């Protein structure tokens, strides 16, 4: 009788293990399909960009495309725009979000909705409207390369806003601020020595998103007739598609490397016992 009573328990355990195994197979299949769909275009782009028919692997298309060009200037222009746009976005949004979380939390829902407007307004409409305004107010502003900075700050606003907002929500900002003030710290000391170190991960994430957006932004720079790296890649692709594919692949690899470095730097360090410092 005892053996018979244990049979359902054994069958239930076998059924549970079977269900777990089936779930693992489904998850593995989904992850594998996602990886194939993600990496297959990259592999195809690399194969197309770094090969020639009948010759195999070759860097000749890339060398021919870069010969006689001023790619260093375009790369430098894009790098400067990425740095300035990132600094401008952080300087603008970090104090704003801290103020909203501390003093006006009821406005957070409105500002979150407001931050997605760049997704609604096309780049052409943004540039056309700004061009009409600055043509009257400051005619020489749109000619400068640095006129792209405010446009890039607007375009990266949804990404940077959400990265910083998520970081602020993950810490007990009110408690940290009150504790720092009770110890006699001034507001700028609290911001620099208490709040910003706790937001290091979100700051790095927001910076990476901003830089990645600037590295791939073409429409605004082309409309304003400025020479940046994305504009250069499009111009190269008109006549030498293999070189454009190779440059795109290299850009993606550099972005991934930057992401890996930032992720490693923002990871919490552990002590010898395995606990966070």
CB 124 within 8 A of CB 223: yes
The answer for residues whose C-beta is within 8 angstroms of residue 138's C-beta and 6 or more apart is none
Helix axes 71-103, 157-169, angle to 10 degrees: 40
Does a structural domain hold residue 151?
A: yes
Does a structural domain hold residue 158?
A: yes
> What pLDDT was estimated at residue 277?
47
Confidence check: pLDDT of 272 > 60: no
Domain containing 165: what range? 73-225
Backbone φ and ψ of 122, nearest 5°? -65, 155
d(CA 152, CA 183): 40
Which of the 8 DSSP states describes residue 172?
-
Stretch among 11-20, 74-83, 84-93, 158-167 having the lowest mean pLDDT = 11-20
> What pLDDT was estimated at residue 1?
47
d(CA 88, CA 120): 22
What confidence category does residue 95 fall into, taking pLDDT thresholds of 50, 70 and 90?
very high
d(CA 13, CA 4): 15
- Written as six digits, the tokens of 95 are 């104090």
Residue-wise pLDDT for 116-163, tens only, equals 888 888 777 888 888 778 877 777 788 888 889 989 999 899 999 999
d(CA 248, CA 5): 66
First-to-last alpha carbon distance for the chain, in angstroms, is: 57
Does a structural domain hold residue 274?
A: no
| Domain count within the chain | 1
What confidence category does residue 217 fall into, taking pLDDT thresholds of 50, 70 and 90?
confident
Domain with 92 in it: what CATH number?
1.10.3720.10
- Taking all residues of the chain, what is their mean pLDDT, rounded to a whole number? 81
Classified as helix, coil or strand, 118 is: helix
Backbone φ and ψ of 185, nearest 5°? -75, 145
CB 144 within 8 A of CB 226: no
Confidence check: pLDDT of 267 > 80: no
Tell me which residue of 127, 130, 158, 153 sits closest to 221, measured CA to CA.
Answer: 127
d(CA 63, CA 66): 5
Residue-wise pLDDT for 246-259, tens only, equals 888 888 888 778 77
Backbone φ and ψ of 39, nearest 5°? -90, -25
Does a structural domain hold residue 132?
A: yes
Confidence check: pLDDT of 207 > 80: yes
Please indicate whether residue 54 or residue 199 has the higher confidence score (pLDDT): 199
> What pLDDT was estimated at residue 61?
76
Confidence check: pLDDT of 84 > 90: yes
Does a structural domain hold residue 238?
A: no
Does a structural domain hold residue 99?
A: yes
Does a structural domain hold residue 39?
A: no
Backbone φ and ψ of 156, nearest 5°? -90, 0
- DSSP-derived pairing of the beta strands 51-52 and 56-57: antiparallel
């Amino acid at each position: 009788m005892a053996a018979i009573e244990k049979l359902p328990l054994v069958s239930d355990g076998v059924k549970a293990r079977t269900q777990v195994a089936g779930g693992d197979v489904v998850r593995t299949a989904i992850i594998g399909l996602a990886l194939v769909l993600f990496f297959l275009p990259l592999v195809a782009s690399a194969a197309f960009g770094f090969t020639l028919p009948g010759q195999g692997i070759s860097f000749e298309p890339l060398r021919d495309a870069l010969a006689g060009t001023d790619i260093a200037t375009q790369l430098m222009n894009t790098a400067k725009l990425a740095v300035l746009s990132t600094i401008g976005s952080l300087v603008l949004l970090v104090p704003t979000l801290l103020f909203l979380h501390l003093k006006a939390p009821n406005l957070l829902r409105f500002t979150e909705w407001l931050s997605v407007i760049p997704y609604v307004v096309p780049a052409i409409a943004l540039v056309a409207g700004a061009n009409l305004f600055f043509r009257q107010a400051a005619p020489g502003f749109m000619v400068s390369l640095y006129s792209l900075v405010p446009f890039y700050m607007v375009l990266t606003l949804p990404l940077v806003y959400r990265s910083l907002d998520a970081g602020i929500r993950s810490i007990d900002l009110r408690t940290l601020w009150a504790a720092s003030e009770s110890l006699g710290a001034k507001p700028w000391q609290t911001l620099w020595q208490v709040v910003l170190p706790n937001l290091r991960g979100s700051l790095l994430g927001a910076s990476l998103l901003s830089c990645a957006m600037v590295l791939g932004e073409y429409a605004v720079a082309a409309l304003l007739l400025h020479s940046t790296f994305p504009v250069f890649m499009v111009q190269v692709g008109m006549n030498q598609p293999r070189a454009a594919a190779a440059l795109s692949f290299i850009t993606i690899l550099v972005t991934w490397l930057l992401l890996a470095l930032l992720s490693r730097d923002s990871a919490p360090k552990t002590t010898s016992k395995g606990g966070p410092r």
